[in-house]
Structures are given as C-alpha cells and as structure tokens.
Homo-oligomer: A and B are copies of this chain.
C-alpha cells in the first residue's frame, strides 16, 4: 500500500479542485499493439536498445503502478498481463476507466499531432470534463500551405487562419524548439523577409517547416492575437537538440514581447526547469509548466516539482500531463502531480515553513486556478466563448 498517496491511489481525496490540464493531446481511438503501446512510454522515436524495453523506465514503472488497479489488476503486474486485460476491455472502456480516475475537469488539447487521436471534446467526455483546443502553429502553417497556390495566398491565408483560430482556441503552441532551436532572433520579421521565406518554402513544396523567419512570423502572429502562447522547451523527442531548447535562450524574445499583453507559457522545461522558473519570477508575462516532466520522472516527481517551486512564483506554475496517445499517461501525469504535490507541501507544512492554509491555496493555484486565469476559462465558460473545436 503506497504511503505517499492521499486516499491510497487514483480516485484521490486530496482536496484539490478539478484539475485543469492546460497542455495535452488526444489518445488513440484504436487498440495499440504492444510495440506501439511501449513506444508511447518514451520520447524516443527509435526502437529500444537490444536487451532493453521501454517498460524499464520511470514512465513504464509508473504506468504499471497506477493503471492496473483501474482495470481490475494488481499494481506492478507484468506488461503482457496488463496489455491483455486492456485488449479484453477494448479502447473505449479502457479510456473511460482511466480518464475517469484522473480528476481532470478541463482538457486544453493540442490538436496539431497526426494519427487517429481523440479530439478535445471526445477526450474530455471520456473523462467527464470539458475540452478546449490549443492550436499548434507549425501544423496550421503546413495545412495552410497545402491549400495555397502561391506564397502570397499562403501568407494572407495564414494571417486569417491564426486570427480565426484565436476565436475558437484558448491558446497557441509553437514547437520552434524542434524546428530550429530557441535561439531565435527576437524581433518580428519584416514583411519582405516573410514573403521571401514563404516563396522559398512554397517553391520547395512546403516540407516540414524549419525556416526561422517563418517560425518567428508564426510566433508574432500568435502574440498579436492576445491568446496565451505555449512554447515547447526542454526535453522531447530526438529531433530536438537539448541544449538548444534551454528556455534561457528565449530571454530576448521574452523581453521583446514583454509589453504586448500576451502571456507566454514555457512547456516541460526539464532539465532547465530552474531556468524557466527564474524567467517566470522576473517577467510578469512568463509562466512555467510541469507537464511531461513529472510523467517521465516517476517517484522523482516530488523532487522535480520542488525544484520548480524554488524560484517560480506560486501564481506562475501550471499543471499539465502532456499525455499523448495513451489514456494511461493522463493517469500517470495526474497521479504523480497529486502525490508529488502532497509530498512537497506536506513536508513544508510539517516543518512549519508554510502554513496549511497557504499550502491548500497554492495547491489549488497550480492545479487549476492559475490556468483558469491565464486562459480565461471562467470567463469563457460564462460567455459561451471558445470551446473545443472538432470532435
């Protein structure tokens, strides 16, 4: 019986409000084969090394800790047995059981990844919550280019597409870290430079977008809408060069956007989460996210969360799961957040460093209140404004 889990497992009675998962992805509609399942436990896009398995990772162990009991199996049962039970239940029932145990009340879902994945509303419904869309800028640009006849049409259509998305989505996201690295020229590119870059890119058949001028153009189009912009920082799949994803490299862009009124949310951050927390502490419009990081660090989630909480102002840190493909990752992300938070704040109140009142208040801020404020979710709900687009 875990000793660090309020309530003894997912299901939790830790006094937190329904969580706002401010950055996540759809899950597979179909049943994955074992290799596909294991592939979602890692950020690697390659096979495991000979003699190893992706189940032998913190993410793999965390799935085996938290998920089997939700499907009627003992914690830590072998992967094969778990996968067999999963197949028996089928993808819909599995999704319903797993998402239903997370306590997530709002899903802000990045719809820019390929695959047969559930959309914002569909994901949220399985979990009994509300869905909202986060629009990935590079995907939007690539889709827009696919429909454009020339660069002029593309740039016009792109401006409209970003504007339209701002009317329905709650935020934008950029993966410039993957496409170029974060050491971007901070200034908005001149219209001429955008046109030239667009012409070259369209002429080349609009392959995967890596042009730094167009990446910057997307960032500034999004910033102009006033919707919060999520930026991938820190670790991710091996497309990325880790040292080029240090959020400190964004400092000049952070300065350049300081007076726009638009908030920037630094996603993931690890292992540069102390750098991200620093930026959040000195720039009013910068926020930091714990998603992905807690999922992949397992029983170290409390320690890593505590590192975030060294410099990050308590109104600047946001919960997410960054779950992708497997509903299991929603379970793991939320369970590790809940148990990590309880461990950290419990220790701090026990030592007298924090009062219990403050600890409860800060827990709710990170779990939900900060995200509701940054993304305007409460107003949204009242005004009947942005809500999940698509299924």
Query: What residues of chain A have their CB less than 8 Å away from a CB belonging to chain B?
Result: 1-5, 42-54, 56-58, 61-62, 65, 75-76, 235, 237-238, 241-243, 246, 248-249, 251-252, 255, 258, 263, 270-271, 274-275, 278-279, 281-285, 296-300, 303-304, 306-307, 309-311, 313-316, 347-348, 350-355, 357-358, 362, 365, 373
Contact = CB atoms under 8 A, between A and B. Distances in A.
Contact of A299 (B75, B281, B347): B347
Given A248-B243, A284-B46, A56 B314 contact: yes
Contacts of A299: 347-348, 351, 353-354
B49 A316 contact: yes
B315 A49 contact: yes
A347 B300 CA distance: 11
A243 B241 contact: no
Contacts of A252: 241
A146 B343 CA distance: 55
A3 B282 contact: no
Of A3, A274, A348, A357, which is in contact with the most chain B CB atoms at under 10 Å from its CB? A274
B300 A310 contact: yes
B282 A237 contact: yes
Of A47, A285, A352, A358, which is in contact with the most chain B CB atoms at under 10 Å from its CB? A352
B246 A243 contact: yes
Contacts of A255: 238
Contact of A300 (B309, B314, B315, B316): B309
Given A3-B350, A352-B65, A48 B309 contact: no
9 contacts: A5-B351, A42-B282, A46-B284, A48-B315, A50-B284, A61-B353, A76-B354, A241-B251, A271-B278
A279 B236 CA distance: 10
B351 A54 contact: no
B278 A44 contact: no
A345 B285 CA distance: 39
Contacts of A246: 243
A193 B182 CA distance: 33
